[in-house]
Amino acid sequence: MSAPRFLIRGAQIGSGSATDILTQGNVIAAIGSGLDSAGAEIIDAHGLIALPGLVDLHTHLREPGYEQSETVLSGTQAAAIGGFTSVFAMANTNPVADTAGVVEQVLALGEAAGYATVRPIGAVTQGLEGMHLAELGAMASSRAQVRVFSDDGKCVSDPLLMRRALEYVKSFNGVIAQHAQEPRLTEDAQMSEGEVSARLGLAGWPAVAEEAIIARDVLLAEHVKSRLHVCHLSTAGSVEVIRWAKARGINVTAEVTPHHLLLSEDRAETYDARFKVNPPLRRREDVLALREALADGTIDIVATDHAPHPSESKECEWGAAAFGMIGLESALSVVQESMVETGLFTWDDVARVLSITPARIGGLASHGQMLAVGAPAEITLVDPHDRQVFTTDRLAGQSHNSPYLGIDLPGRVMWTIHQGYATVAGAKLIATDIIAAQAEEVRRG
């Protein structure tokens, strides 16, 4: 199989002007007009925005152990449909990704699937139990070269253990990604604490449960001079803590999910468990504060927290339902709706928070580069003018617990190019056998 070659005609690169992009193998060979099209597949990209392939620093692929919800293959297919060419897979699998063996298994599954680069996230503690540190050094030196560690789904609530983890990862420039949730303050909590939770009779989840952990951890990061990343910020108070920490020079980064940029706590009034998530949907004031913080750089990136669940875990009463939403297929549309359409973002900003910065935080040098000659051929082409009701036809993963079903959203990913070959063409997935063959060709060099 010869190296793929694409001539992308008329694409607008980010917020810039329209031009042509020529790829050769897994690199961008030329940008400009009058490019040699010999042997190239022509992509008519007039009216489309070209972005560096999207990178998600927070994805739950569920494999090994929870394949009824998602697999590495189905999850990376969902990623490709959403324009993502790389995902970081969280550690809360079964067995937990707390050893070199498990993270290498996840890495191999991603390589075999071929739809996106999969970088495993290692657990901070053994079994996510918060008692003893996991094999951080072994995972970092394994073939997976893990640099991000998280007990996401659970908080590293022990301050001494958190300090030790921050100290340990300094030796290989790792980062601890904290799920900020004080467990004693959120026992039996079902949604954000406030007027709506009181009216619905659902146990409340106070904002301070998130903010207190973030405040503690930025001080710990300052004390040991290590890197901290805060997962899924959801409150205005959390924004202020991060803003204070950055002004102080603390090495902290933060993410916000698409759903916290668009949806608010009033969605719980339907008792539709698709809107049950951890951390919970918050007040409208929090939504607006998160948008402003993303726009001014206080929040560094958007990450999906893609959390697939089988239908029986969501199509039930609220109290018995699982926490979590899927988000890979819809993330770019939600960012366009909440940030671009509101005038808070340009398309260059979208590239920054959905590709360039998450790749930098995760230490993924092969992704997250501005589209330029010599850069990796990791490209997402989106039609910003497409607007339609989001339906299950847009979903490529195994689970359908999307909070956006029935909601009108802008934008549609038309092409996703990963390692120089197309995983999505004309908004349709390329067949699995074709992708696997191309991925094998890339691995062989």
Asked whether residue 306 is marked as a ligand-binding residue, the answer is: no
CA atoms within 13 A on the CB side of 171: 9
pLDDT, tens digit, 9 for 90 and up, residues 132-167: 999 999 999 999 999 999 999 999 999 999 999 999
Q: Is the pTM of this model over 0.75?
A: yes
Asked whether residue 6 is marked as a ligand-binding residue, the answer is: no
pLDDT of amino acid 424: 98
Q: What is 22-90 written as a DSSP string?
A: EEETTEEEEEESS---TTPEEEE-TTPEEEEPEEEEEE---TTT-TTT--HHHHHHHHHHTTEEEEEEP
Asked whether residue 65 carries a pLDDT value surpassing 80, the answer given is yes
pLDDT of amino acid 2: 62
**What average pLDDT does the chain have?**
97
Where do we find the tokens 């998530």?
Answer: 277
Joined together, the tokens standing for residue 62 give 């569920």
Asked whether residue 204 carries a pLDDT value surpassing 60, the answer given is yes
Asked whether residue 122 is marked as a ligand-binding residue, the answer is: no
pLDDT, tens digit, 9 for 90 and up, residues 270-299: 999 999 999 999 999 999 999 999 999 999
Asked whether residue 152 is marked as a ligand-binding residue, the answer is: yes
Asked whether residue 291 is marked as a ligand-binding residue, the answer is: no
Asked whether residue 324 is marked as a ligand-binding residue, the answer is: yes
The band of 363, judged by pLDDT with boundaries at 50, 70 and 90, is very high
pLDDT, tens digit, 9 for 90 and up, residues 78-96: 999 999 999 999 999 999 9
pLDDT of amino acid 136: 98
pLDDT of amino acid 51: 98
pLDDT of amino acid 410: 98
Q: What is 280-293 written as a DSSP string?
A: PP--HHHHHHHHHH
pLDDT of amino acid 439: 83
pLDDT of amino acid 445: 66
Beta strands in 270-352 (DSSP E): 301-302
Share of the chain above pLDDT 70, in %: 99
How far apart are the C-alpha atoms of 86 and 80, rounded to whole Å?
9
Closest listed residue to residue 221, CA positions, set 143, 169, 266: 169
Give 9's DSSP letter. Answer: E
- In the chain, CATH 2.30.40.10 sits at 5-49+375-390+402-444
Cβ atoms 203, 189 nearer than 8 A: yes
Asked whether residue 62 is marked as a ligand-binding residue, the answer is: yes
Asked whether residue 443 carries a pLDDT value surpassing 80, the answer given is no
**340-348: average pLDDT:** 98
pLDDT of amino acid 441: 79
Asked whether residue 390 is marked as a ligand-binding residue, the answer is: no
The band of 444, judged by pLDDT with boundaries at 50, 70 and 90, is confident
Asked whether residue 118 carries a pLDDT value surpassing 80, the answer given is yes
- In the chain, CATH 3.20.20.140 sits at 54-362
Distance of CA 164 to the CA centre of its chain: 26
Q: Answer yes or no: CATH 3.30.565.10 is held by domain 54-362.
A: no
Q: Which residues are catalytic?
A: 305
Asked whether residue 278 is marked as a ligand-binding residue, the answer is: yes
- Which helix or strand (DSSP H or E) is residue 177 part of? strand 175-178
Three-state SS string over 185-196 comes to HHCCCCEECCHH
pLDDT of amino acid 442: 78
Q: Are strands 84-89 and 54-59 parallel, antiparallel or unpaired?
A: parallel
pLDDT of amino acid 4: 84
Q: Write b or e for each residue in 96-123: b if 16 or more Cβ atoms lie within 10 A of its Cβ, otherwise e.
A: bbbbbebbbbbbebbbebbbbbbbbbbb
Q: Which fold has domain 5-49+375-390+402-444?
A: Urease, subunit C; domain 1 (2.30.40)
Asked whether residue 259 is marked as a ligand-binding residue, the answer is: no
- State whether residue 17 is helix, strand or coil: coil
Asked whether residue 411 is marked as a ligand-binding residue, the answer is: no
